[in-house]
């Protein structure tokens, strides 16, 4: 090592240590990153990749398309769909990162309920992780690129609890699926506590009219453009498309998608070919010169599960960096600062780590020289096994697990395994003294083996609690029974028992008892729709629904018995309803029910 190089490394180490001491400071825009923003299209592909939709998915492979979001059933569904498997594989082979859609229900803070009718952050966290594992079990072998977290809160929450929960979900995804690319979608500007959650923050989702008036938070200007994504719909003319693309570049969005499509679902198609090609051309940057490779990373802090790295910055205008572990991209920086922390590593493991620089046009450098980094060994004492593992409740398609928290202070969380496969992780701070987690999507009349382990801060895992044998119940009678409804003084109540493990529980409400109006299904013309804990009004023609503002209509869900309430003003006169189950079981419609 030359004397000059040694002084450079010393300066690098001093600067990096200063950043470690003050990690909450937001990065300032680098002076060298003055070029225009090169953009890539990122598309919510909420259309089936068969029939007419097959051609739409083929268009997603066009040059410039960076991200596509697959959404078979407002989530992964329960069984592997060959059409989606083929579409994901083809898009991935063409360089498109395909993400699996996972709703997070704003962690229940707005009244959104899980499939089991719960509204706590812990219940939502458990469901989200099970959806993630289902996505990878069904489509991981087809090249699934990561996870799209929808319905994300935008405020930090009490003592930062909401942001901490989303950070835990993001870190869980990356730790269990190395190389996963993640996006969080609050759809509006977030508080700064969300800046380092996910690879990309979708900070605008709305109409062209609202986009013109919208101003992004000032701290967005300091970020690598590839950390920001804007979605603009109801942009009907080419002139509006041009203006939306100009605004998105000016607002530092490295990912963008503009469509003339409109609500209720503006993501159910792609724009006409002329519109699409014009958007691709507007997103492309004339700059094709990549920055030079950055210096080799230097580990400045190593723990059993984390490594903090610093490196000499690239010349040529780097806007951000990607960190590769064993050749796989695992993290990106917020901006141009040459510093990153890799989390979720296993203790005592040797890795090869390198860094790639990207400029504002999206050009990537060659990787830096790879350096070996070995995580520290864990402390010699693993935590005790969780005690009292039990099934607090079982049903046709779900079970609720409970146990007593491990008293060691350094326990950071628990991992739940189902039949030997990882299912979910529950942070200790979210679990409390008597942890409980719901498991959904099980098969009726089936026996499962459940184990739970505790994990401490140095990466040790405890001996397993269990295996606990859990057997779901066997449904009897019709798939939907005891259905009915009542008009009260202030609310209309609907209730039915769903005896099969449906993912979706629908109530089609025909408020005028006229099958010729609304959405025609099963003998009624539905003017309103309840779907699990969501509520919609029919608009337009066909399957076209607009959300109804207000609290979730779901009142309760216990062992398959669902009850909902809507304001009586929405359905004050005698009317008709049909209950419907769909998803993981064959769909079923109840007879038409008269509501008085």
Summarize pLDDT for 346-360 with one digit per residue, the tens: 999 999 999 999 999
Between the two ends of the chain, the Cα-to-Cα distance in Å is 86
How many domains are contained in the chain? 4
| Residues 185, 101 share a domain | yes
The range of the structural domain enclosing residue 428 comes to 387-471
Q: Is residue 182 part of a domain?
A: yes
Peptide bond into 48 cis (omega under 30): no
What is the C-alpha separation between 111 and 120, in angstroms, rounded?
9
Domain's final residue, options 231, 266, 283: 283
| Residues 137, 49 share a domain | yes
| pLDDT for residue 51 | 82
| Residues 268, 228 share a domain | yes
Distances (CA, A) of 58 to 26, 81, 96, 99, 270: 40, 17, 11, 16, 11
Q: List, in sequence order, every residue forming a beta bridge with 65; answer none if it has no partner.
A: 41
Give the tens place of pLDDT for each residue, 186-202. Answer: 999 899 999 999 999 99
Q: Is residue 142 part of a domain?
A: yes
Half-sphere exposure of 357 (CA within 13 A, CB side): 29
What is the C-alpha separation between 335 and 319, in angstroms, rounded?
6
| pLDDT for residue 573 | 96
Q: Is residue 32 part of a domain?
A: no
What is the C-alpha separation between 369 and 448, in angstroms, rounded?
47
| Residues 357, 232 share a domain | no
Domain's final residue, options 374, 404, 439: 374
| pLDDT for residue 35 | 57
Say which CATH number the domain at 173 has. 3.20.20.80
| pLDDT for residue 20 | 42
Ranges of beta strands (E only) in 277-398 are 298-302, 307-310, 318-325, 328-332, 339-342, 350-359, 371-374, 387-394
Q: Contact at 8 Å (CB) between 309 and 339? A: yes
Distance of CA 330 to the CA centre of its chain: 17
Q: Is residue 193 part of a domain?
A: yes
Q: Contact at 8 Å (CB) between 114 and 127? A: yes
Q: Contact at 8 Å (CB) between 185 and 149? A: yes
| Residues 65, 151 share a domain | yes
Place of tokens 């979720």: 344
For the chain, residues with pLDDT lower than 70 are 1-35, 264, 584
| Residues 104, 242 share a domain | yes
| pLDDT for residue 118 | 86
| Residues 199, 55 share a domain | yes
Say which CATH number the domain at 513 has. 2.60.40
| Residues 321, 268 share a domain | no
| Residues 216, 119 share a domain | yes
| Residues 506, 444 share a domain | no
| Residues 306, 437 share a domain | no
């Amino acid at each position: 090592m030359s004397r000059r190089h040694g002084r450079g490394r010393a300066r690098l180490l001093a600067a990096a240590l200063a950043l470690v001491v003050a990690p909450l400071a937001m990065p300032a825009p680098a002076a060298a990153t003055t070029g225009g923003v090169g953009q890539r299209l990122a598309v919510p592909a909420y259309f089936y990749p068969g029939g007419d939709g097959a051609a739409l998915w083929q268009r997603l492979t066009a040059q410039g398309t960076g991200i596509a979001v697959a959404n078979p059933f407002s989530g992964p569904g329960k069984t592997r769909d060959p059409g989606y498997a083929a579409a994901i594989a083809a898009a991935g082979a063409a360089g498109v990162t395909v993400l699996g859609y996972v709703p997070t229900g704003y962690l229940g803070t707005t009244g959104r309920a899980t499939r089991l009718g719960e509204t706590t952050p812990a219940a939502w966290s458990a469901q989200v992780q099970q959806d993630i594992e289902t996505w990878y079990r069904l489509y991981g072998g087809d090249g699934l690129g990561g996870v799209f977290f929808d319905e994300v809160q935008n405020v930090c929450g009490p003592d930062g609890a909401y942001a901490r929960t989303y950070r835990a979900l993001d870190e869980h995804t990356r730790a269990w699926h190395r190389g996963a690319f993640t996006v969080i979608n609050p759809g509006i500007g977030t508080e700064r506590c969300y800046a380092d959650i996910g690879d990309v923050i979708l900070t605008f989702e709305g109409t062209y009219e609202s986009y013109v008036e919208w101003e992004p938070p000032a701290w967005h200007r300091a970020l690598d453009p590839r950390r920001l994504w804007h979605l603009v719909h109801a942009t009907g003319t080419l002139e509006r498309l041009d203006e939306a693309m100009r605004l998105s570049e000016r607002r530092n969005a490295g990912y963008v998608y503009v469509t003339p499509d409109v609500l209720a679902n503006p993501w159910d198609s792609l724009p006409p070919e002329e519109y699409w090609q014009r958007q691709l051309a507007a997103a492309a940057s004339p700059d094709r010169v990549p920055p030079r490779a950055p210096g080799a990373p230097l580990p400045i802090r190593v723990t059993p599960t984390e490594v903090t790295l610093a490196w000499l910055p690239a010349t040529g205008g780097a806007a951000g960096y990607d960190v590769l572990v064993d050749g796989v991209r695992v993290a990106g920086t917020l901006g141009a600062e040459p510093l990153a922390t890799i989390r979720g590593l296993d203790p005592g493991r040797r890795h090869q780590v390198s860094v790639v620089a990207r400029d504002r046009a999206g050009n990537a450098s060659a990787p830096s020289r790879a350096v070996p980094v070995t995580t520290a060994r864990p402390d010699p004492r693993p935590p005790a096994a969780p005690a009292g593992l039990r099934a607090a409740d079982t049903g046709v398609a779900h079970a609720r697990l409970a146990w007593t928290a491990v008293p060691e202070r350094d326990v950071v969380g628990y991992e739940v395994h189902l039949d030997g496969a990882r299912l979910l992780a529950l942070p200790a701070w979210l679990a409390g003294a008597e942890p409980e987690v719901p498991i959904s999507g099980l098969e009726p009349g089936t026996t499962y083996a459940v184990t739970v382990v505790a994990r401490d801060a140095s990466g040790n895992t405890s001996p397993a609690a269990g295996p606990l044998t859990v057997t779901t119940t066997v449904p009897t009678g019709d798939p939907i029974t005891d259905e009915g409804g009542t008009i009260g003084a202030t609310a209309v109540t609907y209730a039915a028992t769903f005896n099969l493990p449906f993912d979706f529980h629908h109530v089609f409400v025909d408020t005028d008892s006229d099958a010729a109006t609304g959405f025609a299904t099963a003998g009624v013309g539905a003017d309103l729709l309840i779907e699990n804990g969501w509520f919609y009004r029919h608009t337009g023609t066909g399957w076209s629904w607009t959300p109804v503002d207000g609290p979730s209509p779901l009142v309760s869900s216990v062992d398959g018995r669902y009850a909902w309430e809507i304001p009586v003003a929405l359905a004050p006169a005698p009317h008709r309803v049909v209950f419907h189950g769909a998803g993981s079981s064959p769909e079923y419609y109840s007879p038409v029910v008269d509501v008085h």
